Structure 1
Amino acid sequence: MNNFLSSPTPLCLLFDCDGTLVDSEILLAEVLGEVLPEFGLPFSARQYMEEFRGIRFYTIVQMLEERFGVWVEDKFPALEAQMRARMEARMRAQLEPIAGIPEALAALNAYPKAVVSNGPERKIRCALESTRLTQHFGEQIFSAYTLNVWKPDPALYLQAASAMGYAPEQCIVIDDAAVGVEAGLAAGMHVIHINHFPEEETTPKGAIGIQHAHELPGAIARLDTKVTV
């Protein structure tokens, strides 16, 4: 992770990964729906999409343990290893970028960018490589597992901004999940919520809601104008 000593543009773009850059949420939901029941935790892909999107895997397991009275702490390393291995295989075989993201990133080429994710760094890199998006971010990858802080804690975005050389008010968070939107707002950053489920989810007050990645360049241009005026 490089540290920019000066700001070449007024704004820095901080992208979530899963569900924002890459269409991995349904793959993860299906993998969790397979693996968790094997370890005695009732779970379905639908549950992940409706209740757990963007939440740290360990936290999901803890919540399920408490809900069902099934304790898998001693088996957790094996459980996580199984989940990660299956997910990586699915990503390398099937993962696609979110529709419109490659074009949006190309249009936003002038802006410094980073990926800020609750996932492990290996998973982030696998996602970017599988969808050919690595060129847009290089080594600017910030993983919760590396920094030991997870969204909705704003510290993850704050640490990424600091490392990139930008103040919070100079950053735009682009995130699809509630935990990420909450983290960006709490960090005092501009937030664009890519709302894939507008009929079921409401964009929180203070965030800008869009429904498709092709809207992203326009939304950022409008924010850029406000910041530089």
Structure 2
Amino acid sequence: MTIPLCLLFDSDGTLVDSEILLAEVMAEVLPSFGLPFSAHQYMEEFRGVRFLTIVLELEKRFGGLDDGRRQRLEQEMRALMERRMRAELTPVGGMAEALDALAAHPKAVVSNGPEAKIRCAMESVGFAHHFGERLFSAYSLEVWKPDPGLFLQAAAAMGHPPARCVVIDDAAVGVAAGLAAGMQVIHLNHFPDTEATPEGAIAIYHTRELPAAVARLEASATA
């Protein structure tokens, strides 16, 4: 019997509706350290990008921080983000139903965020039982999307070859990483008017489309 395709989910913006919270937290904390920033700027320019990469880019524009201030900045941002996630985080619409429909598939979360943030997100929205300890953080593995190595290490740990893995991601960096890893990629495109789905990826526009998209890939893989 063929083992179902392995599903590798991004967290922020894919499983959980955290991106506006993150944008607001960054817009609150970054300016207090002399780095002007807006929530709109995160959504337009930096969605899905590693936090340190954002900080270093802002430092180029507005002046550098020493290591101590940079560390305090991240600590304040992470603490505020956790408080807001615990109080306010919700799943992406329809994702709870999609995960139930995909229960037979092995699955993991693969995120550019720290493991503590991933775990907090899954616990806050009631998704922890779907993923257990199968949480793969760029901070733990020391490789960040769009580098394909994050997905490749996750697939190896899950015991599945890249060709039998499906990346589900809403951000350009994750879609690029999945394609570079030689995996099937489903792009959950929340902004079809402004964001194109790259060639080689499958575009869906709502999570209710996800089970059918995975079923089509499953059928193609076993044909």
**TM-score, normalising length from structure 2?**
0.98
1:154 to 132, 145, 148: 148
2:208 maps to 1:214: yes
- Report the equivalent of 2:195: 201
2:81 maps to 1:90: no
1:136 to 107, 122, 130: 130
* Counterparts of residues 165-184 of structure 1 (less than 5 Å): 165-184=159-178
- Report the equivalent of 2:32: 38
What RMSD in Å do the two structures reach over aligned CA positions?
1.1
**Contact (CA 8 Å) 1:22, 1:131: kept in 2 or not?**
yes
- Report the equivalent of 2:61: 67
Q: Which amino acid aligns with 2:158?
A: M
Q: Which amino acid aligns with 2:7?
A: L
- Report the equivalent of 1:81: 75
Q: Deviations over 1:147-178 (max 9, x none)?
A: 01100000000000000000000000000000
Shift of 1:70: 3.8
Shift of 1:69: 3.0
CA distance in 2, matches of 1:74, 1:95: 30
CA distance in 1, matches of 2:25, 2:67: 19
CA distance in 1, matches of 2:45, 2:179: 21
Aligned residues between the structures: 223
**TM-score, normalising length from structure 1?**
0.95
Unaligned runs of 5+ in 1: 1-6
Q: Which runs of 4+ in 1 moved over 6 A?
A: none
**Contact (CA 8 Å) 1:10, 1:228: kept in 2 or not?**
no
Over the matched positions of the two proteins, sequence identity in percent amounts to 68
Shift of 1:74: 3.4
